[in-house]
Each structure stands twice: as structure tokens, then as C-alpha cells.
Structure 1
């Protein structure tokens, strides 16, 4: 990330509640096989935690999800806990969606090191985890090592009303701190960044973050996703951005302020769309050809701000260092 933004990274161990999330439990003798047919990442048996997505039949994102392992206390049987964005969207409720598919399976529902391999000409990548090392997403029940990007830390499930054990040794931060943490690391998440029925998985960097498997068997939304991998071209990506005063690009001494605008007057512009935002920083869906033109000094990004007629604020992007680079 740009040097002036580095002070925004916490210097001490910190935990924060992740808002707008809910959890579904799935257990059964065929739970792994069942999930493998409807999720975009490979599901292993015995259960392991991982990151993935539910896709629409036409290949658009419905939910990006974190899948944890757990032990059913009543049966002692291993199963899965699915952590997803609960906010209303154009996607059907996740429980309803899963129940549509479970009729043919015996399931019960309830409320390392990473390398990349480029697909020829398409701009899509797939991570190649270090086969000699341990499972990249961790091995603990109800805890997931967040490998979407370096430095993201761990995610853990805590029962409603309980405090996580780490609260005694970590600084407790507000949920907004987690949003800022994601933005600084260039990590999109949930319906704000991946609007249901609209976002394409590669535009949303799901391939960069290890949420897609292009070599597994058939799953919902696979056809268009694999076709893009082999023959398509990625024209857009979500990138982190800094919002700054007009005609005053961010310098080595400027750190974004909380009073900087975070919402454009129009949700979508010709050059891109602002998604999550916090403290003058954000994630934006941008056209890659225009990103390259901006990097060559041929154009600049800007946005109009609601309530400020005639005022355009500057928008400057950066490419996260963890992004895979072509050799």
C-alpha cells in the first residue's frame, strides 16, 4: 500500500466484530459432497475450513462465504458452519437456496504458501497452495485463517453475547476498523462489494483470494466461470482507492481524513463504481484499461459528491503488493 497509509495498520494485536453476518449449520453423511456441488471452491472430506462463493447459474455471485468446521454436539458428527452476509439483497435467502439443492442429499440444515497460475490471455489466476505445508485456511473448529490476502489475520465464530478469549490480550476495535482493514489490504467482501446477481467472481477478485477452483467437478455457475478462465478476458477488477481533494493528489505526507467524502452522488460512473469506503479510503470496481491509462498518466479518476454541486473529488488507486504478477 502507499507509504502514507501504513500508519493506519494497527501496531498492536486487535480484534473487531464483523457486522451483518449470520451462520448456517450443515451436517450429514454427504455434507462434503453436497457442498462440493454448489460451491465454487473444492470441498474436502474430512471437513476443512475454506473460503468460497455461491454462484448463480449464469455465473454471477450470490454470496461469498467462509466455511468453518465444527463438531455437532448432539451427534458428535463433524460438519460445517457457513458464515455469510445477512443483509437483504437480490439473492434468495441462503437457507432457502441451500434447501432447494438438499432434497437429493442426506443433510440437515439450521439457522503455506500461495502461488498463482495464470490462464493464458484471460487475466484469470488460480492459487496453487504449497502441497507440502499444512492446510492454508487452518485446522481448528470454528476458526479460519484468512488467507484471502497476507495480513488479514484470523476469523473466529463467537456465540452471541460471548466475548472471544482473545479479548483479554487484544485491543477491542469497532466494526468500522475491520472495514478499514479490508480496504487497506484490497479485500472485497459481502453484498456491498459483490452485489448479488450483478458481480462476476473474477471482477470481484475471487480467483486472487482463493475462492474459485477451475479444475473441480461440476458446480452451480461453473460453465461461464470456466469459460472465462479459458477463453474470456477480465475487463474489470476491484482495487483499493484514496479519495482526496480536487487537483491535489495524495502525497507522501497526506493521510486520509474521516471527513473526506465516502459516497458519490451517483452509484455508478463511466469509469467505475465506489463500493465499501471508510475514512477517505475505499474499494472501487474499475475498468482495467482505464487503470492502466491512469498509471501511464493519460487520465485521472474523480467522483461527484452528494450535496456538493459542481465539486469533483480525486480518486487514486493502487495495486496491492500481494496481487499475483505475470512473470
Structure 2
């Protein structure tokens, strides 16, 4: 599956393979103690069992899954315009054009990245305020997600 052109592979990483698909890789995409399994799309990849075992956070994860309310998810993002020379810093706030907080940029390289975004803002114009100007970004729902997952 190819969601976006893979023009800018990062050296030493698989960012150019995983980011366009919204698949997290490593601690930059899944910060320990911060990332939640359902927001990280692990259930879509069969990375969570709801029928066996005991693990830290199991009750919260199972309750959230069965209630069906997940407000934020990791999504692939692209930067259609020019980027600052230093790139976009990990953890940068993502805002709507109206200035509302929409999420956090997790990691990226070149025109590709992955971000934790509120699904309510998925189809709005988004930006990251950097160095006195706004860097535009676009998010998209990966094709491999189950239908209705971005609601």
C-alpha cells in the first residue's frame, strides 16, 4: 500500500516505510509512559489481546475499547510546503487554523511524519507554529484502517 510518495527516506530508519501508513516505530512514535495502546492503533495491528493475560493498563484499555470512544490516534502527516532548515521538532504542538490544540507531532523526516491528533480535527487545516511562522501539515486516514475508525 502506498499512501504518499516516498521521496525522502531517513537514513538508518524505516520512517519512509512506516510513517505513510501510520504505523508507529520505536520510542519517538510511542513514548514510554505516554503512549496509549489504542491511540497508537495497536488494536488494528492485532497488538492487543482482549481475551487473555494480565498487563499494566489492561482494565483501562479494555474499557476504552469496548466503549468505542477513542478521541486521538496516531496518523500519518505530510508537509506540503517548505520546512524550516532544522525541520519540525518532536513534540511540537499542532494547532488548527483557529489556534485550537489538535495534537502533537511525534516524529518525521522530510515531508513525512507521524502525529497524535484529535480525530475531531482530522479534516481541518492544521499547522505547527515555528520560528515566527506556521508550518502547514495534512493528516490522512490510512487505507488499511477499519471502516469508521476515524469517527
2:13 maps to 1:6? no
The partner residue of 2:137 within 292, 307, 315 is 315
Partner of 2:103: 272
Partner of 1:286: 117
Matched residues in 2 for 1:196 and 1:7: separation?
Answer: 28
SS of residue paired to 1:277: strand
Q: Which has the higher contact order (CA 8 A, sep 6+)?
A: 2
Matched residues in 2 for 1:215 and 1:182: separation?
Answer: 28
Partner of 1:203: 39
SS of residue paired to 1:175: coil
Q: What's the Cα RMSD here? A: 2.7
Matched residues in 2 for 1:267 and 1:9: separation?
Answer: 21
C-alpha distance 195-208 of structure 1, shift in aligned 2 (>3 A): same
Q: Given the two structures, how large is their TM-score scaled by the length of structure 1? A: 0.39
SS of residue paired to 1:227: helix
Deviation above 6 Å: which 4+ runs of structure 1? none
Following superposition, the deviation at residue 189 of structure 1 comes to 1.9
Unmatched segments (≥5 aa) in structure 1:
11-172, 247-256
C-alpha distance 261-281 of structure 1, shift in aligned 2 (>3 A): same
Q: Given the two structures, how large is their TM-score scaled by the length of structure 2? A: 0.79
Unmatched segments (≥5 aa) in structure 2:
95-100
C-alpha distance 208-233 of structure 1, shift in aligned 2 (>3 A): same
Partner of 2:126: 301
Partner of 1:102: none
Following superposition, the deviation at residue 220 of structure 1 comes to 2.9
Following superposition, the deviation at residue 221 of structure 1 comes to 2.2
The partner residue of 1:243 within 76, 79, 85 is 79
Structure 2 counterparts to residues 74-93 of structure 1, below 5 A: none
Partner of 2:12: 175
Structure 2 counterparts to residues 80-229 of structure 1, below 5 A: 174-176=11-13, 178-229=14-65
Paired residues in the alignment total 141
Following superposition, the deviation at residue 262 of structure 1 comes to 2.6
Matched residues in 1 for 2:89 and 2:8: separation?
Answer: 23
C-alpha distance 7-284 of structure 1, shift in aligned 2 (>3 A): closer
Partner of 1:254: none
Once the two structures are superposed, what CA deviation does each residue of 1:139-160 show, in whole Å capped at 9, x if it has no partner? xxxxxxxxxxxxxxxxxxxxxx
Is contact 1:262–1:282 with CA below 8 Å preserved after alignment? no
2:69 maps to 1:233? yes
Larger Rg: 1
Once the two structures are superposed, what CA deviation does each residue of 1:84-119 show, in whole Å capped at 9, x if it has no partner? xxxxxxxxxxxxxxxxxxxxxxxxxxxxxxxxxxxx
Matched residues in 1 for 2:102 and 2:75: separation?
Answer: 13
Matched residues in 1 for 2:21 and 2:111: separation?
Answer: 15
